[in-house]
Amino acid sequence: MNDLAEAQTLVRAIESLLGHRSLSLRPPPPVPTTCCGRGCAGCVWQGYYAALRYWRDQARALLSTRGDGREDETTAAEEAQTISPPE
């Protein structure tokens, strides 16, 4: 994931799934506003996408449970497809 539009689509999909199941998760990482555009090593965008992948993984783990800590296999596969775009 290296595209802002793709990232925003992912965030909306995850937030929709969480809302549908009445689950809460911390907000996604904020979109960077301080990029200088010079292609720095360790660019703020690299950090953003890494943090977003971590947030996505947390959401995936939360969505794969039924609320009592046990896996919900019926919806986990569908939701994993929705929130697992190619890296």
Query: Residue 18 pLDDT more than 90?
Result: yes
29 is a domain residue: no
26 is a domain residue: no
47 is a domain residue: yes
Question: 52 near 29, Cβ under 8 Å?
Answer: yes
pLDDT at 86: 45
Q: Which domain holds residue 83?
A: 1-13+41-87
33 is a domain residue: no
pTM: 0.78
23 is a domain residue: no
Q: How many CB atoms lie within 10 A of CB 79?
A: 21
Counting the structural domains of the chain, the total is: 1
Query: Residue 5 pLDDT more than 50?
Result: yes
